[in-house]
Chains A and B, each alone.
Chain A
Amino acid sequence: MELTHELRENAGFQWVLERLSPMSPFGKQAARNPRWYGPGDEAALEEELDNVALAMELWAAGGTRPQPVDSCGCEAPRVNPAELKDSAAALRGVTRCLPLFHDIRGSFDRDPGAPFDLVELFELKHFLVTLEQVVQAYAKMPPMSGIAFPSLADALELMDPEGRRLPTFSVVNSYHNDLAPLRAEKAKLEKAIRMTQEDKRGPLLEKRRVLAVEEDKIELEVRQMLTRKLMVWKDAFLANMEALGHLDLIVAKAKLALRYHCVRPALSTDKTISLKGVSHPQVAEEQAERGEQFTALELELGPGCTVITGANMGGKTVSLRSTVLSLLLCQCGFFVFAQSARLPLFDRVELILADSGPGAGGLSSFGKEVHLLDQLLRKTRDEFFFVALDEFARGTNPQEGAALARALVRYLGTLDCVALMTTHYDGVSDVAGAHYQVAGLVREIDGDEGDDPRKRIARRMDYRLLPAPPGAPCPRDALRVCRLLKLDDALMELFQADL
């Protein structure tokens, strides 16, 4: 499945990706487009999550203040405690090398007839020397699944014939029989030039020029020879860069999971979603800046459509985004922002938000919703999919809108999907598989009239999602919310009189 820009942004997945800190150019590339694990990739995903769990354990043990990994719902520590310290040091050895790599993929994108220049050869040798250090450190830690470094020992031998492993490169004499005598002759001449007065150097400099041209020709031959040989190992070079990128991304995922206390998702086989203590890190961070705290949510979603109702500003959309984010993270091999998570693998995950504006392609918010839904339904004919819909059909007249929302909930119930919809329409939850309601504006508080309206609402709002019976009426909180937001008094009077 393609993770579109819109989906990444709306779900907060992009925000998470931006908080990854891969250290090599290969890891950065891997982090821009993480692999998607769909149905059928369960084994591969479990391997990836094993890798992340292992990296978490080693990273946590390798810090200056070793700390136990939070119990994350996964199995007991995988690394033998006696070896933990050495393995952790080995991982640090690997990660120390990662920032040293330069991106040299471009150098391989060439015709083998065009020789590498000196700086490119330097970069190739630098890559090989650094890779050798990574491979040596990696060999001392428990192996990660799917990470292998095809041997480039012969290439290193070619680039470093003297075996000194110095991070420098020059065309050494051993590459060509004619180089040593030529360079010796040139050096003798250069010594003579130094001993000669400046105004009498002309003829000597001319002689030197001829030798320098000859040297340049031989160096070119050597560079052509090296290029021919190195290009034979192109695939091995690229495979190593791929492995470095993957390893780098695993460590970045592990560091992120440690930082945010994420949990390893368990894969469910019964097409149900179970999230406990799930949060949305982006929203939580914004709240923390305002001095508020995120209310973690609990959600159990079965096949068919589940409906969420509740007060305005009650966090309904945030619950959609948290759910979609958890699914995207899990299916990209990340730990998720929750206390526990059991998730199935979907062919496709979609979030349909009722916004319009620039970029909507001339569609109104209603038009855009319908268009996105139509596209989704066409694409998912034979797929198992998840869709989250935010107040679907709110942009049209309430009578038709409610009917359309009801119809959609019924229709989704017949498809191979799990769906989650928020709505303000009555009667929609009647036909849903399950119904949650935001606990709402439950707290009575007085005496904070001077505060920021957002704070006043947050203080009164219980953001928890509580299971509600099908058909339970939608709360009527618009009036109170308007009042808390300090809407104009005259308008409020008219509003109230009309209710």
Chain B
Amino acid sequence: MKHLLAPLVGDASPVTVIGLCKNAGKTTAMRRLMAELGEERLGLTSVGRDGEGTDLVTGTEKPDLYVKRGDLFATAKGMLSLCDATLEVVDLTDVMTPLGPVAVFRTLSDGYVQLAGPSAAGQLPPLTKRFQELGAQRVLIDGAAGRKSLAGAGVEGVALLCTGASLDRDMELVVAETVHTCWLFARKRPENPALCAALDGQDARFALFTPEGEPVELPLDETGGPKWAKLPRKPLVVWAGGGIMDPLLKTLARRGAPTTLVAADATHVLAGRSALEQFLRCGGEMRVRKELTIAAVAANPWSAYGWHFEPDKFIAALREVIDLPVVNVKED
């Protein structure tokens, strides 16, 4: 098999496979990467589980991944009946899911496994660490699908972004959405070291700073929410600890002074393209506290809903505007 993804992710661990939408080809990319990584001992888990519950109950669903002997994986206890590899239980995490607690298994034979890991982002780093302690050479995470559900998935290592025709019938729109996500992931930390230090200790929902990192008092209304209209008319850095939506960007765009908006990481920016463009047009700048890396974009020209794009045209359109490796995992 041609090594397509493995050279792109290099030595990075964990590798999180994320999708712009469902059926963007996450599983295909994951399988391909596993195959290319050959004899590396892997630690596998997923962010929660996609909602195919009905199939699960009737037991008609086929497990996704065929893993090799010696790999480690973490899944909810309720998934055991869908795993047919010979298993050794090596640890029980304190992560609870609707499908039972998440346990860590080692495969004593090749076989199928079904992943249903932690759904809260904060539970992934300890699990990644546990995999490494147990001897995993690389951790692969089946991440979320859909940009909204990426929120908080701020991952270590690198991400593999899957995009495809399932997002929309309109190819231009799919390309634009993909570009938008890549642009967000390319955001950097602020350059001023004092500002970075001030942001690193920040755990409030919102906070204000000068571009040099001096704290500025945030005017609050009687309910404790920020009064954006009362911000001093000078260059300011706005820290937003949670998700960033359209209204915040539109309000800050109208402020009439340069604003640098700092998000926890790229996955916290949930606003749409038009609001973000308006913010940037008005002199706004977008920064992140934690930089994330997309190693490559995996594109799937086939949708699950009957339509498809011309593969070459789709890949070419993406390559033209994205400054990252773009691959077609199905055909290359």
Contact = CB atoms under 8 A, between A and B. Distances in A.
Interface of A: 102, 117-119, 121-123, 126, 167-171, 183, 186-187, 190, 193-194, 209, 212-213, 215-216
Contacts of A183: 86, 109
A209 B90 contact: no
B88 A170 contact: yes
Contacts, number: 52
Nearest to A187: B109
Contact of A168 (B80, B84, B88, B110): B88
B77 interface: yes
Nearest to A170: B88
Contacts of A168: 88-90, 106
Nearest to B134: A168
Contacts of B103: 119, 122
B61 to A, nearest CB: 15
Nearest to A102: B92
B111 interface: yes
A-B interface, 8 closest residue pairs, ranked by CB to CB distance from nearest: A122-B89, A170-B88, A190-B110, A212-B84, A168-B90, A119-B77, A169-B89, A119-B103
A117 B81 CA distance: 10
A61 B42 CA distance: 46
Contacts of A171: 86
Interface in B83-109: 84, 86-92, 100-101, 103, 106, 108-109
A119 B80 contact: yes
A168 B92 CA distance: 10
A209 B112 CA distance: 10
A37 B155 CA distance: 54
Contacts of A126: 92
B69 interface: yes
B25 to A, nearest CB: 16
Overall SS of chain B's interface: strand
Contacts of B68: 194
A193 B110 CA distance: 10
Given A168-B88, A187-B109, A190-B110, 14 more contacts: A118-B89, A119-B92, A122-B92, A126-B92, A167-B91, A168-B106, A169-B88, A170-B87, A170-B89, A170-B108, A171-B86, A190-B109, A194-B110, A215-B86
B71 to A, nearest CB: 13
Contacts of A122: 89, 92, 103
B109 A209 contact: no
Contacts of B69: 187, 190
Contacts of B91: 167
Contacts of A209: 84
Interface of B: 68-69, 77, 80, 84, 86-92, 100-101, 103, 106, 108-111
Overall SS of chain A's interface: helix
Contact of B89 (A119, A190, A212, A215): A119
B50 to A, nearest CB: 23
Contacts of A193: 110
A209 B63 CA distance: 13
Contacts of B110: 190, 193-194
Contacts of A169: 88-89
A323 B77 CA distance: 51
A216 B68 CA distance: 18
A167 to B, nearest CB: 8
A126 B90 CA distance: 10
A171 B108 CA distance: 10
19 contacts: A117-B80, A118-B87, A119-B80, A119-B92, A167-B90, A168-B88, A169-B89, A170-B88, A170-B108, A183-B109, A186-B86, A187-B109, A190-B111, A194-B68, A209-B84, A212-B84, A213-B84, A215-B86, A216-B84
Nearest to A193: B110
- Residue of B84, B87, B89, B111 with most chain A CB atoms under a 10 A cut-off: B89
A205 B80 CA distance: 20
A122 B103 CA distance: 10
Nearest to A118: B89
Contacts of B111: 190, 212
A201 to B, nearest CB: 9
B109 A118 contact: no
Contacts of A117: 77, 80
B246 to A, nearest CB: 44
A207 to B, nearest CB: 13
Given A186-B109, A190-B69, A118 B80 contact: yes
Contact of B101 (A119, A194, A212): A119
A170 B105 CA distance: 10
Contacts of A123: 92
Nearest to A197: B1
B297 to A, nearest CB: 24
Contacts of B108: 170
- Residue of A119, A167, A169 with most chain B CB atoms under a 10 A cut-off: A119
Contacts of A186: 86, 109
Nearest to B105: A118
Contacts of A118: 80, 87, 89
A152 B307 CA distance: 63
Contacts of B84: 209, 212-213, 216
A348 to B, nearest CB: 40
- Residue of A126, A186, A213 with most chain B CB atoms under a 10 A cut-off: A186
